[in-house]
Structure 1
Amino acid sequence: MSKRALIVRHVPYEGIAGFRAPVEAAGYTIERIDVSDPEFPGVDLVSPDLVLLMGGPMGVYEHAENPWIVHEIERLAERMAADRPTIGVCLGAQMIAAALGARVYQGPEKEIGFYPLAINDNGIRSPVAHLADQHILQWHGDTFDLPDNVELLASTPRYPHQAFRRGRNVLALQFHAEMGLDPRIEAWIDQSQDSLDQLGLCPHGLRADYARIGPSAVDAGQRMVGEWLQAVG
């Protein structure tokens, strides 16, 4: 019997992208649920063999605008208590932090574009080591306090909490190592014009970086996820 992976999408244009290949190669059958789906309030986040929580433009603290957030965190906390294999990307990483009791809040400024990660000693001994010497896509403006009983793996100068793990079954990634080939980057650019203007970033420059750096970045991300999946319980 194949293993079941559930992808939680917070917006349609932020999906599994490059992580699909290593997840399928590890023997998982992929299912997907959008938070806008009428069935989402009752979805079981504990029983899937693997859950991947993807990104989104909303903040974990924006409960009034997104009433599903509280329910997702509650069910995710149950999954954390059961120590079930879980990956969180960007908003998904912030959701994991919140489910583990940490505070999520606005960062000093938005971080958008391809940047290198400072990978610490814990990170070098983890699958995140595959991202060393790579520029990885960042696209966020929020951050989180580091939860208790986790290992910090990577940082950037503006956002010191870029990746953490708890044991072998929980991996939280603030960055987007799944993105480098997926054409939905165009939707990201279209949805972020105000943020790009604030940072003085040119959409054409981002597209050029995506074409030039993206393939190598997503290849490293795939190797990272592939190694992590080999070790999950």
Structure 2
Amino acid sequence: MTTTTRSAVVIQHDPHIHLGNLEPLLRARGFRLRIVDPKVSDAAALDPEDGDLLIVLGGHEGAYELDRFPYLRGELKLIRSRIDAELPILGICLGAQLMAGSLGARNYKADTIDYGYRELELTDAGAASPLRHTRGVAMLEWHDDHFELPEEATLLATSAGAPNEAYAIGDFALGVQFHPEVTDEMHDVWTADTESSLHRHGISIDDWRALRDEHNDAMQTASAAIFTEWLDAIERRSDAERLSDAGRRTP
């Protein structure tokens, strides 16, 4: 494990929708974390090349609700500039939708909610990616929006609940619709926040928590493996670029 000091800019839309189990992995690798609330700080004013990694987390917003949540436009600009620069970026749920939207793909309201645990269907590319660690594991879904796949993206996984569960852009960007980052504490808070919606869709709180208890251990193991393998890859990429830059500067 590297101890090189690195930095990550984290776009966090809600205090309860945070890095979760990803945070200790990042800190163990020496990442300094800069948390940005896009409702307070204009994401468009951020330097798209700042940080070794940009992470865009989930939120209650719809990526298509630009008039209702105008700060999303700043995020789209930041994300597009980051992608154009081919610099590492990770998008989770809303973050993945915004990544797709920044490249011109359509985001839209789903016909039904997708709450629960689902096994992903990996594409050939997905089976050769960090997503391979989800094979046979039910991952947490908590969304009611979908997005179309950008032309620049490679589909890694789909599911019965979402046509596009995960995708890559080159070797530097990963977008996931599901929630690999969720901890027990986050699950409890989200459950309390959405209890009325769960009831409205015929999901009892006891059954919902029983599902968590059934699938959580395997999901946490898979999530750690996904994040670890992907972070390893982007760190190798970053280190190789630094060495290349240093070589070009050597007289």
With structure 2 as the length reference, what TM-score do the two structures score?
A: 0.87
Which of 103, 108, 114 is residue 105 of structure 1 equivalent to? 108
Partner amino acid, structure 2, of 1:20:
E
Contact 1:9 1:33 in 2 (8 A): yes
Q: How far does residue 21 in structure 1 lie from its aligned partner after superposition?
A: 2.8
SS of alignment partner, residue 212 of structure 1: helix
Which of 194, 197, 203 is residue 195 of structure 1 equivalent to? 197
**Structure 2 unmatched ranges of 5 or more:** 238-251
In the aligned structure 2, how far is the partner of 1:69 from the partner of 1:31?
A: 19
For structure 1, which segment, 201-210 or 88-97, has the greater mean C-alpha deviation from structure 2 after superposition? 201-210
SS of alignment partner, residue 17 of structure 1: coil
In the aligned structure 1, how far is the partner of 2:228 from the partner of 2:29?
A: 7
Partner amino acid, structure 2, of 1:134:
V
Query: Higher relative contact order at CA 8 Å, sep ≥6: structure 1 or structure 2?
Result: 1
In the aligned structure 1, how far is the partner of 2:48 from the partner of 2:195?
A: 34
Is the counterpart of residue 218 in structure 1 residue 223 in structure 2? no
CA RMSD between the two structures: 1.6
Match of 2:245 in 1: none
Task: Pick the structure with greater CA Rg.
Answer: 2
In the aligned structure 2, how far is the partner of 1:203 from the partner of 1:75?
A: 38
1:2-17 to structure 2, matched below 5 A, reads 2-17=5-20
In the aligned structure 2, how far is the partner of 1:214 from the partner of 1:44?
A: 37
Match of 1:163 in 2: 166
1:180-191 to structure 2, matched below 5 A, reads 181-191=183-193
For structure 1, which segment, 95-104 or 32-41, has the greater mean C-alpha deviation from structure 2 after superposition? 32-41
Contact 1:22 1:223 in 2 (8 A): no
Q: How far does residue 105 in structure 1 lie from its aligned partner after superposition?
A: 0.5
**Structure 1 unmatched ranges of 5 or more:** none
Number of residue-to-residue matches in the alignment: 232
For structure 1, which segment, 86-95 or 155-164, has the greater mean C-alpha deviation from structure 2 after superposition? 155-164
Contact 1:6 1:32 in 2 (8 A): yes
Query: How much identity, in percent, do the aligned residues show?
Result: 29
With structure 1 as the length reference, what TM-score do the two structures score?
A: 0.93
SS of alignment partner, residue 184 of structure 1: helix
SS of alignment partner, residue 68 of structure 2: coil
4+ runs of 1 displaced by more than 4 Å? 38-41
1:8-47 to structure 2, matched below 5 A, reads 8-38=11-41, 40=43, 42-47=45-50
Q: How far does residue 193 in structure 1 lie from its aligned partner after superposition?
A: 2.9
Match of 1:227 in 2: 229
Q: How far does residue 13 in structure 1 lie from its aligned partner after superposition?
A: 0.6
Contact 2:167 2:175 in 1 (8 A): yes
In the aligned structure 1, how far is the partner of 2:173 from the partner of 2:41?
A: 27
Partner amino acid, structure 1, of 2:25:
P
